[in-house]
């Protein structure tokens, strides 16, 4: 690997998607002659091509007259990029057979490899089943021990599904029809160097532009695999390249495992510290937990997941009265120590709401224009996404609002499906009706709508909702369960203060996530520049 990449390896590996970029870079360097040193003792690629041509000619001369003629050797004076002087630009049709066939007895046990058994990583190989040759010799792609298979259909090709076939039952096999197979002349090509070429970003990028067919069924033509320029190193260097590839891919695997372990440990640490904060027994316990958290804040909240966990903790603290120090209020009473504390109560939701209405149990009749009809896919915790709206006719609107016409400040609540337990208020100036799998809640005079919205999105209620679902594969919370949700609340003045403080802290979390994503983009850009410089 180049000194540039070696020096910057930690930064490159730590970048978003950095290890995958590193794997791609290693493959790119391999086929450009930049991964290992060249040796003057190596037989040059010209001699290797002559030897391959002689072997193929001898084989074909021994066959009957019906055999296909030998593919003429093709050597190019120049290729798409520079390679060492001992290398030659040729193509796979010159140095290998493309899509060969096998011959064997019908009762012979052979390997069968469907597409699902072929993996995308360079060193991950394939799994296989055992079948009789008579079962698979027709209607499937043939291959043999040491052949290289590359997926030809989208998206398997773009996802780099390719492998060297190894440990085949009786040395041969058949499998998915969506493969091109490369069979090197024995002893003249290192199969895993060919695999590196077929998995290289350059081959995949150009190949994607040459695919034919309709969307979702595009395929890589055989003639592209045969004729696309192939950088051929001396055979000794091919083996050195493969050894170095194995070493570096193993390093990538170790880095990836270490990164995953570090991320898992980080997530557990964040969870433990936030739990200690939300479950503090008293003020002293809370202060101690906060001290632990604040000392390591800049190291803890460095991922989207950790910031999302922090937002959940903020909402949890808000609705359990732990978000802000006590302040004088007419809604507060003195406690045993002489300090004031807010008067908190817990009531069931249907005691605090003046209306709780389920949606119509019918699919809306959609129209191109008309009245807005919301779907749960538009629900976000404490906000309604109006960027992708659907509409119904005026008559349908009347039908779907016959029980209750939604007004600004009413709470929309998803109670079924993948977006379950999310609450958001109807924005000012928006006229809408309910779609499916949702409820409408109108707060009474004991509780502010914005505070109730906060409670419904906070962990005590969202956890209760998830644990109360029925319906198996299509989970839902029954209306009767929602009506009995225990809602903790202080006086109205304190509710508004809590919402204001929560909004302030949640906005800070959102800004932290924006800053983090910008830093990740900058890091990713630097990593891409490093890769480009290394290849150049």
Q: Which of 209, 233, 257 is the last residue of a domain?
A: 233
Per-residue model confidence (pLDDT) at position 373 = 98
**Residue 15 pLDDT level (bands cut at 50, 70, 90):** low
Weakest mean pLDDT among 93-102, 310-319, 471-480, 519-528: 519-528
Sequence-distant (≥ 6) Cβ neighbours of residue 336 within 8 angstroms: none
Condensed to tens digits (0 to 9), the pLDDT of residues 416-438 reads: 887 899 999 999 999 999 999 99
**What would the two tokens of residue 419 be?**
């977006």
Do 63 and 207 fall within a single domain? yes
CA triplet 390, 411, 407: central angle to 5 degrees? 70
357 lies in a domain? Answer: yes
Give the chain's end-to-end CA distance (angstroms, integer). 13
Per-residue model confidence (pLDDT) at position 223 = 95
Do 72 and 195 fall within a single domain? yes
Weakest mean pLDDT among 75-79, 270-274, 494-498: 270-274
Cα–Cα distance measured from residue 497 to residue 501, given in angstroms and rounded to the nearest whole number: 6
In terms of C-beta density within 10 A (0-12 exposed, 13-18 middle, 19 or more buried), how is residue 321 classed?
middle
CATH assignment of the domain containing 476: 3.90.220.20
- Residue 144 DSSP symbol: E
Do 220 and 88 fall within a single domain? yes
430 lies in a domain? Answer: yes
329 lies in a domain? Answer: no
**Residue 337 pLDDT level (bands cut at 50, 70, 90):** very low
Check pLDDT > 70 for residue 62: no
Order the strands of the 162-164 sheet from edge to edge: 96-98, 179-184, 148-151, 162-164
136 lies in a domain? Answer: yes
User: What is the average per-residue pLDDT within 140-163?
Assistant: 95
Per-residue model confidence (pLDDT) at position 325 = 55
Do 59 and 197 fall within a single domain? yes
More confident residue, 15 or 395: 395
**Residue 413 pLDDT level (bands cut at 50, 70, 90):** very high
Q: Which of 191, 207, 233 is the last residue of a domain?
A: 233
Q: Angle between the 492-535 and 18-30 helix axes, to the nearest 10 degrees?
A: 10
CA 130 to mean position of chain CA atoms: 33
What pTM value is reported for the model?
0.66
Nearest CA to 120 out of 165, 148, 151 is that of 151
In terms of C-beta density within 10 A (0-12 exposed, 13-18 middle, 19 or more buried), how is residue 388 classed?
exposed
Per-residue model confidence (pLDDT) at position 528 = 66
Give the rounded percent of residues in the chain with a pLDDT score beyond 70: 87
Do 201 and 350 fall within a single domain? no
Weakest mean pLDDT among 21-30, 225-234, 259-268: 259-268
Domain extent at residue 360? 345-489
The answer to whether the beta carbons of residues 21 and 48 sit under 8 Å apart is no
**Residue 340 pLDDT level (bands cut at 50, 70, 90):** very low
**Residue 330 pLDDT level (bands cut at 50, 70, 90):** very low
Query: H helices of 320-422, where?
Result: 349-352, 394-400
Per-residue model confidence (pLDDT) at position 154 = 93
Average pLDDT in the chain:
87
**Residue 322 pLDDT level (bands cut at 50, 70, 90):** confident
Check pLDDT > 50 for residue 381: yes
Cα–Cα distance measured from residue 121 to residue 118, given in angstroms and rounded to the nearest whole number: 9
Check pLDDT > 70 for residue 327: no
Do 226 and 87 fall within a single domain? yes
Give the rounded percent of residues in the chain with a pLDDT score beyond 90: 60
30 lies in a domain? Answer: no
Check pLDDT > 60 for residue 70: no
Per-residue model confidence (pLDDT) at position 463 = 93
157 lies in a domain? Answer: yes
Per-residue model confidence (pLDDT) at position 336 = 42
**Residue 63 pLDDT level (bands cut at 50, 70, 90):** low
Per-residue model confidence (pLDDT) at position 284 = 72
338 lies in a domain? Answer: no
Check pLDDT > 60 for residue 79: yes
Q: What is the DSSP string of 294-349?
A: HHTHHHH--SHHHHHHHHHHHHHHHHTT-SS-----TTEEE-TTS-EEE--EEEEH
**Residue 348 pLDDT level (bands cut at 50, 70, 90):** very high
Condensed to tens digits (0 to 9), the pLDDT of residues 136-147 reads: 999 999 999 999
Q: Please give the tally of structural domains in the chain.
A: 2
Residue 76: beta bridge partners? 89
196 lies in a domain? Answer: yes
The answer to whether the beta carbons of residues 153 and 180 sit under 8 Å apart is no
Weakest mean pLDDT among 176-190, 374-388, 479-493: 176-190
Place of tokens 């029809």: 177
**Residue 214 pLDDT level (bands cut at 50, 70, 90):** confident
Q: Strand, helix or coil at 149?
A: strand
Q: Which of 204, 233, 262 is the last residue of a domain?
A: 233
């Amino acid at each position: 690997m180049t000194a540039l990449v070696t020096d910057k390896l930690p930064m490159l590996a730590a970048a978003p998607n950095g290890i995958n970029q590193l794997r791609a870079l290693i493959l790119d360097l391999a086929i450009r002659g930049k991964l290992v040193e060249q040796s003057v003792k190596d037989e040059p690629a010209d001699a290797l091509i002559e030897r391959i041509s002689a072997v193929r000619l001898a084989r074909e001369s021994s066959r009957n007259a019906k055999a296909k003629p030998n593919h003429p050797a093709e050597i190019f004076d120049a290729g798409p990029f520079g390679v060492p002087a001992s290398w030659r630009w040729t193509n796979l049709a010159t140095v290998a057979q493309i899509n060969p066939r096998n011959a064997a007895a019908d009762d012979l046990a052979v390997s069968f490899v469907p597409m699902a058994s072929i993996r995308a990583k360079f060193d991950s190989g394939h799994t296989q089943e055992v079948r009789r040759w008579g079962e698979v010799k027709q209607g499937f792609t043939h291959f043999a021990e040491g052949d290289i298979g590359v997926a030809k259909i989208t998206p398997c090709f773009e996802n780099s599904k390719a492998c060297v076939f190894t440990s085949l039952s009786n040395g041969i096999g058949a499998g998915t029809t969506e493969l091109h197979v490369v069979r090197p002349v024995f002893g003249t090509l290192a199969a895993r160097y060919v695999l590196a070429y077929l998995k290289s970003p350059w081959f995949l990028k150009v190949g994607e532009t040459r695919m034919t067919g309709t969307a979702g069924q595009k395929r890589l033509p055989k003639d592209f695999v045969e004729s696309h320029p192939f950088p051929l190193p001396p055979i000794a260097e091919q083996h050195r390249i493969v050894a170095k590839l194995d070493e570096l891919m193993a390093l990538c695997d170790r880095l990836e495992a270490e990164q995953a372990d570090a991320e898992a440990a980080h997530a557990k640490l964040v969870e433990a510290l936030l739990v200690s904060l939300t479950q503090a027994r008293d003020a002293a316990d809370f202060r101690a937990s906060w001290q632990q958290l604040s000392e390591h804040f800049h190291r803890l909240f460095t991922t989207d997941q950790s910031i999302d966990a922090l937002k959940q903790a903020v909402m949890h603290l808000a609705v359990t009265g732990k978000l802000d120090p006590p302040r004088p209020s007419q809604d507060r009473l003195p406690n045993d120590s002489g300090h004031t504390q807010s008067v908190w109560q817990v009531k069931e939701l249907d005691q605090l709401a003046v209306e709780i209405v389920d949606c119509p149990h019918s699919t809306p009749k959609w129209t191109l224009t008309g009245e807005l009809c919301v779907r749960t896919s538009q629900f976000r915790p404490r906000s309604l996404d109006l960027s992708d709206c659907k509409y119904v006719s005026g008559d349908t609107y009347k039908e779907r609002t016959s029980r209750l016409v939604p007004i600004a400040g009413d709470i929309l609540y998803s109670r079924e499906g993948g977006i379950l337990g999310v609450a958001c208020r109807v924005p000012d100036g928006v006229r809408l009706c309910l779609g499916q799998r949702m409820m409408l809640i109108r707060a009474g005079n004991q509780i502010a709508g914005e505070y109730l919205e906060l409670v419904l999105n906070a962990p005590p209620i969202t956890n209760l909702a998830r644990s109360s679902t029925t319906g198996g594969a299509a989970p839902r919370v029954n209306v009767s369960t929602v009506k009995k949700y225990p809602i903790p609340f202080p006086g109205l003045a304190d509710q508004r203060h809590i919402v204001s403080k929560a909004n302030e802290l949640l906005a800070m979390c959102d800004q932290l996530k924006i800053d983090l994503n910008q830093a990740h983009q900058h890091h990713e850009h630097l990593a891409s520049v490093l890769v480009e410089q290394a290849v150049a």
